[in-house]
Chains A and B, each alone.
Chain A
Amino acid sequence: DAKTTQPPSMDCAEGRAANLPCNHSTISGNEYVYWYRQIHSQGPQYIIHGLKNNETNEMASLIITEDRKSSTLILPHATLRDTAVYYCIVSAETSYDKVIFGPGTSLSVIP
């Protein structure tokens, strides 16, 4: 079973920030928080990952709470192309253990 829980769906106005929450209360000390997204009928795409510090890249920012039990993915200026299912996953980095996907959050960016 997935180790994370996410809201099933969210809406966001185009141009506004999209904040996608994820709970991972049973995360282990060596596990990272990963985010992937899947646009309809395509393979998932890596977005970002982090251990305990906040992370930012060209796609998004990742905010992890101090106790590491939850995190938020932030898309600073959502566009229509960001409409996708977003998956939050916990996994050890460079681990070849299987990665289990939960249901994810279906984000709809509205014009």
Chain B
Amino acid sequence: GAVVSQHPSRVICKSGTSVKIECRSLDFQATTMFWYRQFPKQSLMLMATSNEGSKATYEQGVEKDKFLINHASLTLSTLTVTSAHPEDSSFYICSAIPTGAVDNEKLFFGSGTQLSVL
């Protein structure tokens, strides 16, 4: 199946700093990618939809100036958590839908990034 690589898998940062998370589709192109956040023992919460070459669409309550999303190519989307605070500590997961005809009915997920803000 298609592979989505997410990096880093774990990051610890100081409060007030920014952190960038990368999501790459390794063997397929993805016009659309999704970013989720997951708190312990809770389900995935959709943060935003990332579209290649255009602005991301954010869900209600998600600050677009705090969670910057860039989808500059068909294989890479990045999420930057700006001025991170302890309450931003969470498990962040990206997913992608293949743009081509193969497996385009499925979501493929990265392995997630555990962000801890001290």
Contacts and interface: CB of A to CB of B under 8 A. Distances in A.
Interface stretch (B64-72, B75-83, B104-112): B104-112
Contact of B97 (A36, A42, A49, A96): A96
B43 A98 contact: no
A58 B107 CA distance: 18
A21 interface: no
Contact of B34 (A42, A85, A87, A98): A98
B44 interface: yes
Contacts of A42: 111-112
- Select the residue from B1, B105, B112 with max chain A CB neighbours within 10 A: B105
B91 A41 contact: yes
Interface stretch (A12-20, A64-72, A75-83, A100-108): A100-108
A27 B60 CA distance: 24
A102 B44 CA distance: 8
Nearest to B46: A98
A87 B43 CA distance: 9
A94 B105 CA distance: 4
B3 to A, nearest CB: 11
Contacts of A38: 44
A41 B112 contact: yes
B93 A104 contact: no
A85 B41 CA distance: 10
A55 B93 CA distance: 28
B25 interface: no
A104 B43 contact: yes
Interface string B22-51: 000000000110101000001111100100
B93 A44 contact: yes
A49 B105 CA distance: 9
A45 interface: yes
A89 to B, nearest CB: 9
A43 B95 contact: yes
